[in-house]
Structure 1
Amino acid sequence: MAMAAAPPPPRPRVMVLPFPAQGHIMPLMELSHRLVDHGFEVDFVNTDFNHARILTALAAGGETGAAVHAGIHLVSFPDGMGPDGDRADIVQLAQGLPAAMLCRVEELVRAQKTRWVVADVSMSWVLGLAGTVGVRVALFATFSAATFAVRMRIPKLVEDGIIDENGKSKSNPISVSSVLSRSEFMLDMVFPCAANVKRNERIKLSPNTPAIDATDIPWVRLRSPMIKGMIKTNQTFVLADTIVCNTFHAIESEVLALLPKAALAVGPLEVPSSTSANQLWPEEPACLAWLDGQAPGSVVYVAFGSFTVFDTARLQELADGLALTGRPFLWVVRPNFANGGDEGWLDQFRRRVGDKGLVVGWAPQQRVLSHPSVACFISHCGWNSTMEGVRHGVPFLCWPYFADQFMNQNYICDAWGTGLRICADERGIFTKEKIRDMVDQLLGDDGIRARALSLKRAACESIADGGSSHQDLLKFVNLLREQ
């Protein structure tokens, strides 16, 4: 009598823990798909609030949570805020997460006998479990390696008198004209009294990286306790086993070497087009059919991510500027993108431009950027958008809003030469004429286009079999298989 075949060994289980924001959930979901492809089961932990939003977005597209991926299990825990809490106040949200989530994360680790947690750097409080339950932690950076390296240099910048951890600014007032307040958190970033810059010096991390102004350091406009907290948190990173970055060696090899642990570059990450389980808003894939009807290299794509907010004046100038270009455009306008103003303006604008432009609430951005009709990307320069634009060879018109986006603009314009800055007038407004002129200048620059395509080739080579990012992904997979 033949013996029954032994059941296959259980797939190793990994927990993935993103900070509860769109730009953090997305790349970690992309990484989760790669891990499942290599034989892992993933417990993907969202907050209850964002879990509900994701399920709503999936349902709007005819999907369910079960359709995410056979190996990805959506889990959710409370975030410590009430139903009406202001989750745009990132500082308040972040401060409440450890107390709300740590015990539940520990319970799940014990229940699943999880050996590895892949945690967002912004969720590094989970490193405390390394000592209590013996779980191993890989930190994932949702920003560039350069931004991470600057973060690690903050204590030296304080020591050198360039920034002040107590928030007492001695520099000239800092103009952040593109930033608009939405909450107290946003107000603290806008007004000079909240700046932590004492001396606006130019900083270089290494010989071949672009110089950045001290005022462009992502955290200097945050509430002052954040600087002190970050210095303290930086010291815990030694407890991590490794650091994983959504970048590639051809653009950041020097700064990867400056990180506190051996870093693995696995980008640019890309999610399968079959799921939208990384999105907090329902995507509108019908825009792809509209793109199909446009001439190759003709469409101006405009998207400002999940946090940017425009007031009425800036919104009107942007809308008029897009119309003035005389080019077809696809513009993503989130439900909470506009701060004030007549709610009917969008319908009026749609009627005015007719078939020349398309305005959607949320777009499948990677599929849009890969479309042959797209000519350029007017972007807030979030790191995910930056990597996606690089991956698809699209020139940028840079319009940063806050955090690391100003540093990313330095990469795009100064280091890579694949985009242009747009400058505000003396009122802090990006005028419709300036928008039109900058689009014309960008699309008339053959050098920018050639450099964007060259960078695309480098990005594609990195993720292809044998490329640097593919090799680093395999190193990461082998590390996660260690028990």
Structure 2
Amino acid sequence: MAAPAPSPQPHVMVLPFPAQGHVMPLMELSHRLVDQGLEVDFVNTDFNHDRVLKALAAETGAVPEGIHMVSFPDGMGPDGDRNDVAMLGSGLPAAMLGPLEEMIRSTKIRWVIADVSMCWALELAATAGVRVALFSTFSAAVFALRLHVPKLIKDGIIDECGKVTRNETIQLSPKMPPIEAAEIPWASLGSSPDRVSMIIRSLLKTNPAISQAAAVICNTFEEIESEALDLVPNALPVGPLEAPRGSSSSAAGQFWPEDMTCLAWLDAQARSSVIYVAFGSFTVFDAARFQELADGLELTGRPFLWAVRPNFTDGVVGEGWLDAFKRRVEGKGLVVGWAPQQRVLSHPSVACFLSHCGWNSTMEGLRNGVPILCWPYFADQFCNQSYVCNVWGTGVKLCADERGVVTKEEINGKVTQLLGDEEIRARAAMWKDKACTSIAEGGSSHQNLLKLVNLLREA
């Protein structure tokens, strides 16, 4: 008698918000799910799908087995401004809900893991009969603050359009980061009052549905956010997530090719000597801030590795100026377009991380025990800075002058302060140990990952 056919692997749809800092951690989660025997349909927008495939081709990588890359239109035209987060997000439900429902029905998918910034996907539970888990690409503290927005309005701290009407320090519990009302994520996320209002209306509309999610998967871990996680319904912390090491497919979530030549350069530097500088995928500097940063790095007299992605300066600094700077610092500093950040931060020559404090970067710095020099740009980054400086004690804050510019003297002074602080280094090492323990077999995040896999195997 013929042996019975093996049962098909459970199939999960993964749906990130179409931005680099959202696609990457969900790709990392997808790797973990495939490692546990699941199949993943990873949904990008057409625009980002093309970017990911081009970046992979430039690195001669391949999409990992078990992850199927699919894409749909995002509702914007070819010339649409996809850095306008509010506008991009507002058009996604109309553009994607119908095609997603059709795909779910045709492939008999039973589970969707949707970015919390795509929580309109919870509608698919009713229309397509799937179960939906949400994924938080920001800290549990920011998630809790999101749920707290109606009370902030009721208490008169912000109005219903998101405008700050009473600036005060907000701290939801003692071990959570204090943050000024003017720096709550949604006040600094929009490019105009209308955009902020659009974001707040969306939060107020979607917040009540969050409790319907089967789980809220968080890229964090119990030991650093226990109090915040208590405020998140059905929280399942599985972080810190990371890309698989030594795999040609580890860049499957990157929008730009990673410049691997910087790793050989790091090999030639002294231990704990290099300042690593990277500001994520959204930060844009004007000429004054960019040149002051360049001068500040040079002023430190220390080796530095600086990731300057193609649109980092919005065209205000000419290629000629940057080329001249590269020549001037040759032998001491290296400028690349996009760095393999996790591999850089784990390199023994790296001494500190000058960062915008995006949540992925913050977690990567913490997991590798690297002290952070904080320079937030927008959204949740101010809250993450507060974690680093006020709660964990693993970094220091850069302060702007009266023009809003962080001067070269400030950069030089804070680098010296940070690298001379033995207590900060000791705390960074302590949190590294806790982070690594959490994802090791038997750790809290590893156990939660197994709980998630068991949940996704349910019919």
Q: Structure 1, residues 130-181: CA drift from partner, whole Å, max 9, x if none?
A: 11221000000000000000000000010010111135xxxxxxxxxxxxxx
Q: Which residue of 2 aligns with 1:470?
A: 446
Preserved contact between residue 39 and residue 66 of structure 2 (Cα < 8 Å): yes
Q: Which residue of 2 aligns with 1:211?
A: 178
Separation (CA, whole Å) in 1 of partners of 2:417 and 2:22: 33
Q: Which residue of 2 aligns with 1:189?
A: none
Q: Which residue of 1 aligns with 2:312?
A: 337
Matched, 1:263 2:235: yes
TM-superposed deviation, 1:217: 0.9
Separation (CA, whole Å) in 2 of partners of 1:366 and 1:443: 20
Preserved contact between residue 86 and residue 198 of structure 2 (Cα < 8 Å): no
Matched, 1:91 2:94: no
Q: When the two structures are superposed, what TM-score results if normalisation uses the length of structure 1?
A: 0.92
Matched, 1:402 2:397: no
Q: Which residue of 2 aligns with 1:300?
A: 275
Matched, 1:201 2:157: no
Q: Structure 1, residues 46-98: CA drift from partner, whole Å, max 9, x if none?
A: 000000001110111112xxx22110000000011111111011111111111
The DSSP-based 3-state class of the residue aligned with 1:309 is: coil
Any residues of structure 2 matched to 1:39-54 within 5 Å, and which? 39-54=37-52
Separation (CA, whole Å) in 2 of partners of 1:277 and 1:119: 18
Q: Which residue of 2 aligns with 1:381?
A: 357
Partner AA of 1:85 in structure 2: G
Q: Which residue of 2 aligns with 1:148?
A: 143
The DSSP-based 3-state class of the residue aligned with 2:319 is: coil
Q: Which residue of 1 aligns with 2:214?
A: 241
The DSSP-based 3-state class of the residue aligned with 1:68 is: coil
**1:162 pairs with one of 154, 157, 161:** 157
Q: When the two structures are superposed, what TM-score results if normalisation uses the length of structure 2?
A: 0.97
Separation (CA, whole Å) in 2 of partners of 1:421 and 1:314: 16
Preserved contact between residue 141 and residue 177 of structure 2 (Cα < 8 Å): no
Q: Which residue of 2 aligns with 1:24?
A: 22
TM-superposed deviation, 1:346: 1.3
Separation (CA, whole Å) in 2 of partners of 1:86 and 1:314: 23
Identity %: 69
Q: Structure 1, residues 219-259: CA drift from partner, whole Å, max 9, x if none?
A: 12332132122111101112211100000000001111101
**2:387 pairs with one of 406, 411, 434:** 411
TM-superposed deviation, 1:129: 1.1
Q: Structure 1, residues 22-66: CA drift from partner, whole Å, max 9, x if none?
A: 000000000000000111000000000000001110111112xxx
Gap regions ≥5 residues in structure 1: 168-195
Preserved contact between residue 165 and residue 225 of structure 1 (Cα < 8 Å): no
Q: Which residue of 1 aligns with 2:132?
A: 137
Matched, 1:229 2:236: no
Q: Which residue of 1 aligns with 2:193?
A: none
The DSSP-based 3-state class of the residue aligned with 2:236 is: strand
Partner AA of 2:321 in structure 1: W
Separation (CA, whole Å) in 2 of partners of 1:228 and 1:56: 36
Matched, 1:254 2:227: yes
Matched, 1:57 2:55: yes
Preserved contact between residue 130 and residue 239 of structure 1 (Cα < 8 Å): no
The list of structure 1 runs, each at least 4 consecutive aligned residues, that deviate by more than 3 angstroms after superposition, is none
Aligned-residue CA RMSD (Å): 0.9
TM-superposed deviation, 1:209: 1.8
TM-superposed deviation, 1:208: 2.1
Gap regions ≥5 residues in structure 2: 191-195
Q: Give the aligned length.
A: 449
Q: Which residue of 2 aligns with 1:314?
A: 289
Q: Which residue of 2 aligns with 1:181?
A: none
Separation (CA, whole Å) in 2 of partners of 1:200 and 1:124: 29
Partner AA of 1:378 in structure 2: L
Preserved contact between residue 438 and residue 445 of structure 2 (Cα < 8 Å): yes
